[in-house]
Amino acid sequence: MKIKETPLKDCYIIEPTIFEDDRGYFFEKFNEKKFEELTGMNGHFVQDNISKSSQGVLRGLHLQKGEHAQAKLVSCLEGRVWDVAVDLREDSPTFGKWFGIELTAENKVQMYVPRGFGHGFSVLSETAIFSYKCDNFYNKESEGSVKFNDPDLNIDWKVEDHKMILSEKDLNAPGFHEKNF
C-alpha cells in the first residue's frame, strides 16, 4: 500500500500493491496500522456505505457537520468515477480548494477524505458502484452541502452540464459562501 499526499492538507490517495497471477489478483484494500503510521490520521472506520449510479449522475457536494463529522475512505468497485474533495475547514491553508481524481474498478485507487471536507463524484462509465468507509455514524440532522457548480469553486466534473443527473437536494444546495458546512 502506497499513500500519496494530494494538494489538499490531510487528504490522501491510497494505491494498493496488487499481486496478480493466472488465478486473478490479491491486494490489501486497507490496513489501519499502516495508514495511521504513514499519515498520522485516525484510520478507524465504523460504517460502510455503497451506492450504484448511472452514467452522468453527480452526487455532491456532501458532508456531515459538528460532532457527527465524517472522514471517508472512498473507492470505485465497478466502473469509473471522477471523485472530488473540497477543503471546507476555514482554518486550513487549503480552505476552498478542490482536488479530483479518477477512481476505477481497474486501478483500485482510494481517496481518504478527512473530516471537514465536502465530497462528491460524477459517474463516467455506464454504471458505477461506489464504496464509502466512514469513521463516524451518519446523522441526518448533521447533513451539510455545497452547490456542485458554485462558481467560486469552479469544479470540473468531467460531465457535460446537459448530461448531468442530480437529485433535487443537490440542485438546491447552498452556495460556498452560504457556509452550510
Instruction: Profile the chain (181 residues) by mean pLDDT over runs of 10 residues.
Output: 95 95 94 93 94 98 97 98 98 98 97 98 98 97 97 98 97 94 88
β-pair partners for 129: 52, 78
Q: What is the pLDDT of residue 177?
A: 94
For 100, 108, 133, 162, the CA distances from 75, given in Å and listed in that order, are 13, 7, 9, 26
Catalytic residue positions, numbered? 62, 132
Q: Residue 90 half-sphere exposure, CB side, CA atoms within 13 Å?
A: 5
Q: What is the pLDDT of residue 180?
A: 86
- H or E, element range at 59: strand 58-64
β-pair partners for 165: 57
For 1, 50, 121, the CA distances from 154, given in Å and listed in that order, are 32, 27, 14
Domain boundaries, the chain: 2-178
Q: Which CATH number fits domain 2-178: 3.30.1390.10, 2.60.120.10, 2.60.34.10, 2.120.10.30?
A: 2.60.120.10
Task: State the distance between the two ends of the chain, measured CA to CA, in whole angstroms.
Answer: 32
Q: What is the pLDDT of residue 1?
A: 87
Q: Are 145 and 118 in contact (CB under 8 A)?
A: yes
Residue 176 is classified by DSSP as G
Residue type, 173: A
